[in-house]
Structure 1
Amino acid sequence: MTEEKTHKVGVNENWLMSRHLRLEGSVEKNHQLIVQEVDQLLGVDAVSINATESLLNVAYDATKRQLDEIEEIVRKHECDIAHDWWTHFKEGYYKFVDQNVKDNASHEPWSCHKRPPGR
């Protein structure tokens, strides 16, 4: 017997991305505001911030949300994504994967067994 996880409305498990990024700035002071605002976005399944470690954990449907939108909210509340090499590398990779997921989700598959478009 497998246990099924229920997701929030607007979240498709096939496109669910789980991201973990280090933050800097006023994390201790503003982490609750960031979590509340990000949690209200359509497509966000879960969000938390470990304030003592300044770590943002977020899971979202990449066809509905992009990491840039979440980062905007973080910056709005006097925080930012950490500027260390590893966090910058992960952030770039996450954005690359998110864009691929979004592009592939809207792509109409083509097969050589079908008639070419327009014929």
Structure 2
Amino acid sequence: MMKTQDSMKPVGTWEVRRRIKIPALVHAADAMAVEDAVRALSGVRNMATDVEKHQLIVRYDASQSAYQAIVEALESAGFPPLDNWWCRFKGSWFEFTDTNARDNAHAPPPACCNKPPK
């Protein structure tokens, strides 16, 4: 069942929202299976499935989880994402931004006031 868009807005520093097209998502039972598979991942904050649009909207902390982990969970549950050039392109971009967010989240704090550390 689709939730309001306000509950799907990223609220934390490293939170992101991804829309994933899933062609095999056609029944409410499929939606439950998809949600169960993704909910098991660490860092997942919220999700909503839309059976009519065949999509999953997931909000997660990119410093703890990654787009590729969500795709692997969907594939292992029997619901692979749509495989066309646009979805592959978006998936590559999502992986790139998630890697950057994870690297930045775990980076040491910068030096203060443009002074090199002692």
Structure that is richer in strand per residue: 1
76-85 vs 55-64, which moves further? 76-85
Percentage of identical aligned residues? 23
Partner of 1:18: 17
Bigger-Rg structure (1/2): 1
For residue 101 of structure 1, report the CA deviation from its aligned partner. 0.1
Deviation readout 1:69-99 (Å, 9 max, x if unpaired):
1111211222211112221111111110000
Gaps of 5+ in 1: 7-11
1:33-112 equivalences under 5 Å are 33-111=33-111, 112=114
**By how many angstroms is 1:42 displaced?**
2.6
Distance 1:69 1:62 in 2: 11
**Structure 1 residue 36: deviation in Å?**
2.0
Give the Cα–Cα distance (whole angstroms) in 2 for the partners of residues 24 and 80 of structure 1: 8
TM-score normalised according to structure 2 size: 0.78
Shift of 1:108: 1.1
Q: State the TM-score, normalized to the length of structure 1.
A: 0.77
Counterpart CA distance in 2 for 1:40 and 1:84 is 27
Give the partner amino acid of 1:22.
Answer: K
105-114 or 65-74, larger mean C-alpha shift: 105-114
Superposed CA RMSD in Å reads 2.3
